[in-house]
Amino acid sequence: MESRITQAMRDSIGVEEPPVLYEVDKSSIRLFARAVGHTDPVYYDEACALARGFRSLPAPEGFLGTAVVAVEQAGRLLNGGNEYHYYGIPICAGDVLSAVARNLDFWEQSGPLGPTVWCRRETVFTNQTGQRVARLYDTQVFY
């Protein structure tokens, strides 16, 4: 069987992609916090967040904002898992993060839906003041 991993995919390993901007806003923080079951008012009440020393509502772990991309750039894939590493700098509402991703590896597996291509990626998130705030390792699945 011929490999579904193309030469272009192989050539992309280790190459940084152009930055993508992620906006961190209060509504998205609240929605994410509700979706994952956070009950701490620090994610919902700005006065509480300020009293705890944050600049605004803090982003819960696992939320790095909403990508600012056109619909035609969004693509279709399945999330195969995420691993987050934070640098101890709070991410808060009002931040705009720049994310630079690079592919680390591609591999193939056969599954119930047929041949599947997997991609392991690394994305580094930097805030508007140039500080690295997070690193994400994710796995993407293409059918």
In this prediction, residue 72 carries a pLDDT of 58
Is there a contact between 87 and 132 (Cβ–Cβ < 8 Å)?
Answer: yes
Burial of 113 (0-12, 13-18, 19+ CB in 10 A): exposed
Task: Kindly report, residue by residue over 7-25, the tens digit of the pLDDT.
Answer: 999 999 999 999 999 999 9
Side-chain-side CA neighbours of 5 within 13 Å: the count stands at 16
pLDDT band at 111 (very low <50, low <70, confident <90, very high): confident
Residue position matching structure tokens 């609240």: 30
In this prediction, residue 97 carries a pLDDT of 98
Q: What share of the chain has pLDDT > 90, as a percent?
A: 84
Query: Domains of the chain, with CATH numbers?
Result: 7-24+64-142 (3.10.129.10)
In this prediction, residue 112 carries a pLDDT of 80
CA 45 – CA 39 distance, rounded (Å):
11
Question: Collapsing DSSP states into helix, strand and coil, what is residue 57?
Answer: coil
